[in-house]
Amino acid sequence: MRFTLLTSLVGLVVGAYAQSSAADAYVASESPIAKQGVLNNIGPDGSKAHGAKAGIVVASPSTSNPNYLYTWTRDSSLVFKLLIDQFASGEDTSLRGLIDDFTSAEAILQQVPNPSGTVSTGGLGEPKFNIDETAFTDAWGRPQRDGPALRATAIIRYANWLLDNGNTTYVSNTLWPVIQLDLDYVANNWNQSTFDLWEEINSSSFFTTAVQHRALREGATFASRIGQSSVVSGYTTQANNLLCFLQSYWNPSGGYVTANTGGGRSGKDANTVLTSIHTFDPAAGCDAATFQPCSDKALSNLKVYVDAFRSIYTINSGIASNAAVATGRYPEDSYQGGNPWYLTTSAVAEQLYDALYVWDQLGALNVTSTSLAFFQQFSSGISTGTYPASSSTYATLTSAIRTFADGFLAVNAKYTPADGGLAEQYSRNDGTPLSAVDLTWSYAAALTAFAAREGKTYGSWGAAGLTVPASCSGSGGATVAVTFNVQATTVFGENIYITGSVAALQNWSPDNALILSAANYPTWSITVNLPANTVVQYKYIRKFNGQVTWESDPNNQITTPSGGSFTQNDVWR
């Protein structure tokens, strides 16, 4: 027995050394390749971005199976957030011209009419454009409402650096108009349905809700800083509503975040891990309301997510149940065969490194009933409680978790070709790189994970000390009878419905929207009990022969009184 235990301990030590050694080697070799990989895909001078305008990020130079020679607002913003962080922190001071090109290009793209609309009628939700800054007009999953939020976050980061260095005029005259367009879009449209970041499900998306919340928090603070006080209250109000809505994605019985409100899948999805790392605030501790990387909910979710891939990929066969494996978007994925992605596997490592950073800053880690299963992977006898950094339990857990994190980088390293090129995916059967070559997001995800491993952080966005409002869920508490009247002419067989931002209005579900009465046609009416003292957004929709038509933007909005009844009279837009 003693010999067996000793052998096991030796195995653990050797395994830990092997993982960390592989991660060390991968970071050293891949860092310059990944950085150059990002730069190669940015126009006009990137070696793989031929035809791209200045500051335009090419998702991938791949032009067939799949064709990714486009620029996505989401990908571009995440990539430039990385570059802006490197620039503003002094890591790479050569990037300023490229960043200025990016902000100029995005200002142009905001104004390009596209299938989602114009700049004032929903066009900011258009997910991608041609690399010559013209509209992409083929069928696509649109709108995607995470892009404006992520772009605002990236540019606010740069604008704050400029302010710190005395450049107020450029910020106020050039950057603020771009930022405000995106923030206003988020504030006015956050609770409308959206395609998720994988462009497949049209519902509400955890990632989108979370990055929108972050953007409005940062936006309110930034607007105050530059004297744009008139927008602060509106951004803050909607940020509070977003924070409230964010809580509804948590699945307490399953111990994970349900990534989308629609789609008919399990909801176990890399979307949720990407949320934790892209809304990481090192000043917020292990806050669960914003799903910080070391929060009990985010850790529980991470385990459920990772475990979902252990048995479905051949390359994960034979790996211990508490060791790193390759992960993909979601277990039901069939795109290009449904394989691991470099960026999703990197994201797991990054969340764990972020968690380790915060525990080190706090000088303790806390195990709750929610996160217990996560910690039991590394110490089967662990119990709930707080473990200070001076304790042996803390040392054991954090050492094992760092090895676990390094393991995910080692998995990616194993399936990275000798030249360091990162495609989108690698085969679930043998690890061969697949799908789009030189995916810009793959390179950026490697670099952010490497930075997190080194303990680098890039400032707070305001997640610390937030309180989830009590009245926004629409459940319990005082209610008000609200009568909605809308003048709308219809054809025979066509009906008018209403849906909106609270449960009583079916949480923006067109399928479950409430039908209005035409007894006083052309005025359609309905009375609904809504939560009192609450900002409620809503829209009317038409249904005819299976087709759904929404009112034009922006959303309608009321603030319900504290009691009694209320009548709202509208005209169909």
DSSP string, 364-419: EEEE-TTTHHHHHTT-TT--SEEEETTSHHHHHHHHHHHHHHHHHHHHHHHTS-TT
Q: In this structure, is the dihedral angle defined by the CA atoms of residues 346, 351, 354 and 360, taken in order, positive or negative? A: negative
Structure tokens at 19: 């993982």
Query: How many separate helices (H) and strands (E) can be counted in the chain?
Result: 14, 19
Please choose, from the candidates 90, 75, 92, the residue with its C-alpha nearest in 3D space to the C-alpha of residue 36: 92
- φ, ψ for residue 369 (rounded to 5)? -60, -30
Can you say whether residue 199 is alpha, beta or left, with left for phi > 0 and alpha for psi between -120 and 50 degrees? left
CA distance 462 to 465: 8
Report CA-CA distances (Å) from 116 to 124, 142, 229, 351, 499: 8, 7, 30, 34, 21
User: HEC string of 445-459?
Assistant: HHHHHHHHHCCCCCC
> Do residues 448 and 350 touch, judged by C-beta distance below 8 A?
yes
> Do residues 96 and 473 touch, judged by C-beta distance below 8 A?
no
DSSP string, 328-347: BS-TT--GGGS-BBHHHHHH
- Reduced to 3 states (helix: H, G, I; strand: E, B; else coil), residue 553 is coil
Which sequence positions are flagged as catalytic?
A: 196, 199
| Number of C-beta neighbours around residue 29 at 10 A | 14
- Reduced to 3 states (helix: H, G, I; strand: E, B; else coil), residue 28 is helix
Report CA-CA distances (Å) from 312 to 263, 271, 309, 341, 426: 20, 19, 5, 14, 14
| Number of C-beta neighbours around residue 323 at 10 A | 17
- φ, ψ for residue 544 (rounded to 5)? -155, 125
Does 461 belong to an annotated binding site? no
DSSP, res 139? -
Report CA-CA distances (Å) from 555 to 113, 189, 457, 501: 20, 7, 37, 10
Task: Pick out the residues of the known binding site.
Answer: 140
Q: Pick out the residues of the known binding site for substrate.
A: 140
